[in-house]
Structure 1
Amino acid sequence: MKRPAAISASIVSAFTPTGRLRAAVNLGNPILANTDPATGMPVGVSVDLARAFAKTMGVELDLVVFDTAGKSVDAVKAEQADIGFFAIDPLRGEGIRFTAPYVLIEGAYLVKDASPLKRNAEVDVAGRRVVVGKGSAYDLYLTRELKAATIERAPSSPAVVDTFLAQNADVAAGVKQQLEADAARLGGLRLLPGRFMVIQQAMGTPTSRGEAAQAALAEFVEQMKASGFVAGALKRHGIQGAVVAPPTTTA
C-alpha cells in the first residue's frame, strides 16, 4: 500500500510517541472485533484497519484490547492508545478527533415474545425498563432521547440480553446483529421492526495529536472505503447488516 503524501514523518511521529502505533480495539461490538477461537487473538474489521494504517505509516502495531466501548474511549482520551474505533457521539468528541464514518450499523430493540410492544415508538413510556451496555453509543444516545422510560445498564454490550432476562426488564437495546444472534441462541425473543438509530462507526485519535494528524487519519479512512478495503473486510469476516459508509468530500 502506497503511503499517502499527507502522512509525513512529522505526522507519523504524532501518531507514534512510543515508536509504535497503539490501537484500541473494543471487543464489545462483535461487528467490528472478536476473539479468534483458534488463536485467542483479536480479529475483525477494526483490527484489519489498524494493521493497514500501521503498514501505511511503516510502523509496528500494538493492539490494546478492551471489552467495552467506554474503556476504549477512555484509553484514547488518556493517550494510552494512539487511535481507536468508535461510534461518533458528541460526548466522545471531548478529547478525541474523529474521522468520517467508515461503517454504518443499526441499533435495534429486542423484547420477549409475550411483550405487548410492537413498535419502537412504544418503548419510551413511563414504567418501561430498557437495558443497554454501559457506556455504549446506544447508552449515550438513549440517555439523551428517552424521556419517560428507565435505562438500566449491563456491564457490556454482549451482556445486554442476559442482563435483560435476569432483571426481567421490558426492552434490550443494542447492535441489531448481536440481538438477532441472542434471540436465536435463547429463543422466546423477537426484535421490534426497523431501527431506533444508525451508528456511525469512525476512527479517532487524541485531540492533542493535532489537526494534521486528524486530516491524515480522515484521508486514510476515505481511501479504505473507496478502495473496497472496508467492504472486503466486512465480507471476509462474515459481517451481515453493516454497510460501508458513503464517501465524504471536503470543500
Structure 2
Amino acid sequence: MSSNRLPALVSPSLCAALAPTGVLRAAINLGNPILAHRADDGAGAGGAGGVSVDLAGALARVLGVPLALVVFDTAAQSVEAVVTEQADFGFFAIDPLRGQQIAFTAPYVLIEGYYLVRDDAPIVANGQVDVAGVQVVVGKGSAYDLYLTRTLQQAQLLRAASSQTVVDTFLASGAQVAAGVRQQLESDAARVGGVRLLDQRFMVIEQALGLPKSRGAEAAAFLARFVEDAKASALVAAALERHHIKGASVAPAA
C-alpha cells in the first residue's frame, strides 16, 4: 500500500515501539467470524485467515518485520493479550472500558449487533427486550456484552463462554433472547432452525485496531494513520470482498 499518510521509512524507535521483539505479534479473535476464521486448509498464517489477518500482514510489510499471529477464541482473551503485552496490537470493537488501557484507532469496519428469539416468542421489537424477567445471552467479554451491560436496565444478561456458543447457550438455558453479530446469528439460525432475528439492529459495532497505551503516542498515531490509509487505498474494501463478507461496511474516513 502506498500513501502520503505513511512515512517512506519507519524510524527504528517507532519500529521498536510497535514490534519490540523484532516480530509484529497480532492478536486475532476467532470469535468474530466477519473478521477472522480458522484456516484449516493451511492457507492462513498461524492457523487463521480473514480480514484482520490480511490487515496484520499489510502492517507488518509497512514496518518491514515478520508477522506472528496470536490466535484466540474470544474477544476478552484477545484484549487481555494486548493489555498484558503478550501481543503488540489487535483488532477490537471500540469500547470505553477497553479504552482505559488500549489506544484505539478510528474504526475501519462497521458491523451490526442484532437480537435473536424463538419463532414463537412474543418479542417482535428491540424495545420489548429490556423488560424485567427477560434473559439475554451474550458472549462473555464481547463488544455487545460490554454495551448491553451499560445500557440494559431491567433485562438480565447471561454470559456464554464465547460468541460462537451464544445461540446454543440460549437454547439450552431457556433464555428469551440471544444477542450478537448479525452474521453469526444468521448462520446459527440456519443451523438450528426455529429462531428468528428481530428486524432492527440494537447497535453498530465499530471495529478498530488497538495497541497498549504504554507503547506511546507516536506508535498510536502511526497505527491510526495506517488505518486511514487502509481505508482510503481500498485495502479494507478489497479484504471484505476477497473473504466474501456481507453485512459489514468500510468505516468512513476519520
TM-score in same-fold range (> 0.5)? yes
RMSD (CA atoms): 1.1
The CA deviation string for residues 93-144 of structure 1, in whole angstroms up to 9 with x for no partner, is 0111000000000000000000000000100000000000000001000001
Match of 1:81 in 2: 87
- What is the TM-score when the length of structure 1 is the normalising length? 0.97
Task: Identify which of 56, 65, 80 aligns with 1:50.
Answer: 56
Offset at residue 35 of structure 1 (A): 0.8
Match of 2:33 in 1: 30
Identity %: 65
Cα distance in structure 1, aligned partners of 2:132 and 2:11? 55
Match of 2:190 in 1: 184
Cα distance in structure 2, aligned partners of 1:64 and 1:71? 10
Task: Identify which of 155, 158, 162 aligns with 2:164.
Answer: 158
Match of 2:201 in 1: 195
The CA deviation string for residues 125-184 of structure 1, in whole angstroms up to 9 with x for no partner, is 000000000000010000010000000000000110000001011000000010011111
Cα distance in structure 1, aligned partners of 2:55 and 2:105? 13
Offset at residue 37 of structure 1 (A): 2.9
Cα distance in structure 2, aligned partners of 1:201 and 1:153? 21
Task: Identify which of 42, 66, 71 aligns with 1:65.
Answer: 71
Offset at residue 8 of structure 1 (A): 2.3
Offset at residue 17 of structure 1 (A): 1.1
- Secondary structure of the residue aligned to 1:147 is coil
Match of 1:237 in 2: 243
- What is the TM-score when the length of structure 2 is the normalising length? 0.96
Structure 2 gap ranges (5+)? none
The CA deviation string for residues 30-56 of structure 1, in whole angstroms up to 9 with x for no partner, is 000001232272000000000000000
Runs of 4+ in 1 over 3 A off after TM superposition: none
Check conservation: 1:2, 1:56, Cα contact below 8 A: no
Structure 1 gap ranges (5+)? none
1:65-214 equivalent positions in 2, closer than 5 A: 65-214=71-220
The CA deviation string for residues 197-243 of structure 1, in whole angstroms up to 9 with x for no partner, is 00000000110110110000000000000011100100100110000
The CA deviation string for residues 64-84 of structure 1, in whole angstroms up to 9 with x for no partner, is 001000010011000111010
How many residues get paired? 248
Offset at residue 27 of structure 1 (A): 0.3
